[in-house]
Amino acid sequence: MSAAPPPRLADLATARRLRAIHDQHDRLALLCAELEAIADDLPRACPQRCRRAADALGTLVPEHHASEIVVLRELLAADRPDLVDRIARQHGEDEGLAGEIGHALEPIVAGGAADAPETLGYMLRCFFTSYRRAMLVEELAIRAAAPAA
Ligand SMILES: [Fe+2]
């Protein structure tokens, strides 16, 4: 019985970066659950929960996109540049909606009421429904390109 060859350093580095993407998706899934809870609680959403969500929308989401697209380009650009471009466009759309939601949460964070709770609820539901689907597609794309990930 022959021993498996030792992993290459490049493979280990890629595995670490893919693990980081998975971990970020776990955190973003929690953010989606928080956004769903906010939508369910409207018009009386918790200001502290809204502040945490707004902070994550403004930091975690764009930071994740920046790191994820680099990894996806390395894994997929040669075979599926169309898929990478589509994911990058989706990232931009998601960041735009995340920014609008963060802005719409500001009155609640400040202790008041949402300016338009029905509109905010719709925006929240659009975001977390679409984002959960997008993360699933990204995870499938990564598994297809890096089956050991
Ligand atoms: Fe992602």
| Residue 149 CA, ligand 1 centroid: distance in Å | 15
- CA–CA dist 41, 39 (Å, integer): 5
Residues 6+ away with beta carbon under 8 Å from 113: 43, 107
At residue 15, the pLDDT reads 87
| Residue 25 CA, ligand 1 centroid: distance in Å | 6
Q: What token pair was written down for 98?
A: 């995340």
pTM above 0.85, yes or no: yes
pLDDT per position as a tens digit, 95-126: 999 999 999 999 999 999 999 999 999 999 99
- CA–CA dist 69, 22 (Å, integer): 13
| Residue 144 CA, ligand 1 centroid: distance in Å | 15
CA atoms within 13 A on the CB side of 46: 10
- CA–CA dist 138, 91 (Å, integer): 11
pLDDT per position as a tens digit, 122-138: 999 999 999 999 999 99
The class that CATH gives domain 11-145 is mainly alpha
Please, which residues have CB less than 5 A from ligand 1, an ion?
68, 138
| Residue 132 CA, ligand 1 centroid: distance in Å | 9
